[in-house]
Amino acid sequence: MRAFVVNKYKGSLQLADVPEPAVGDGDVLVQVQAAGLNPLDEKIRAGEFKQILPYKLPLILGHDLAGTVQRVGAMVRDFKPGDQVYARPDKARIGTFAERIAVAESDLALKPASISMEEAGSLPLVALTAWQALVERGNVQAGQKVLIHAGAGGVGSIAIQLAKHLGATVATTVSGSNADFVRELGADIVIDYRTQDFEQLLTGYDLVLDSLGGENLEKSLRVLKPGGKAIGLAGPPDPTFARSAGLNPVVRLAISALSAGIRRRAKKLGVRYEFLFMRASGNQLRQIAALIDNGALRPVVGKVAPFSQTAQALQGLDTGGIRGKAVISNS
């Protein structure tokens, strides 16, 4: 079958003929009809995550999929051929930039019935990230105040909607041209990061979801109320992540050192910092599908490209300007 692979870090994405996926007893073979593009794919290609995600090369990239079940393993009970599904495969089994992929049953869910394959393919990674940040880690409650950075992006556009569904007051940072767009998603307070300083305008927040890192993360700590939490998606990784990822002691020590400064500053302010690297979860995707089908959430697809243009479309993420997600269609 055809797939887009990385043969060496920093090398270009190449279209190649690869073996058909092996389908284990607990696996579901899916014909991929749409696959979301994520900055994570580009970071892996560039070798930025090779210490914490030690993949064996060549590697098929791709973290999101929507498609149709072709075949199921002997132990699979919840899916059958013909089912329309969506998933973010486990981090050890990525590879959605391909015609077919075998996904563990536990990572898979029926796709929301009310949306297209391309819309469903845009969702798993960003929707699971938002869910795990706001529901699982943040325990966001009605009446709380949440700041979501980069609100017009893939994670931000879903996180704004989810935070509003949970009853929070939502602030977000975007460029001025995206202000009306994020207000339509539910943002209450919109800050133009080019002309305004969110640290000067916001205070007493319960949770910040930061996808930028660096100085932006440090400033985010200072808008939290005592006991508040900043969840970082861009890093630095923290010791809890290193332990859960099963990394070797040397790497764990290095990660602890990387995040020591931000954790120390958070502690001094009476707030907390946590790094989030989202995980696959079919169960959470089922809950997200229900929210989409009842109208509480809607996917935001800013660009659709054909499968043949996967490499160019991934490279194009660096130029920005896409609201929500870019998606590859193989329908």
Q: Is residue 284 part of a domain?
A: no
% of residues, the chain, pLDDT over 70: 100
Q: Is residue 152 part of a domain?
A: yes
Co-location of 107 and 142 in the same domain: no
Co-location of 106 and 152 in the same domain: no
- Band of pLDDT at residue 286, cut at 50, 70 and 90: very high
Classified as helix, coil or strand, 223 is: coil
**pLDDT on residue 49:** 85
CA distances from 19 to 12, 98, 246 (A): 20, 11, 29
Co-location of 178 and 54 in the same domain: no
**Domain range spanning residue 176?**
125-275
Q: pTM of the entire structure?
A: 0.97
CATH code, 305: 3.90.180.10
Co-location of 20 and 162 in the same domain: no
For residue 259, the Cα-to-chain-centroid distance in whole angstroms is 21
Co-location of 117 and 29 in the same domain: yes
pLDDT for 318 beyond 90: no
Mean pLDDT of the region 240-264: 90
- Band of pLDDT at residue 135, cut at 50, 70 and 90: very high
Query: Residues 6 or more apart from 18 whose CB is under 8 A from it?
Result: 1, 2, 3, 5, 60, 98
pLDDT for 320 beyond 80: no
Co-location of 84 and 154 in the same domain: no
Co-location of 195 and 169 in the same domain: yes
Q: Is residue 293 part of a domain?
A: no
CATH code, 187: 3.40.50.720
Greatest Cα pair distance, the chain, in angstroms, is 58
Count of domains observed in the chain: 2
Co-location of 19 and 116 in the same domain: yes
Q: What's the token pair of residue 130?
A: 């938002």
Co-location of 52 and 129 in the same domain: no
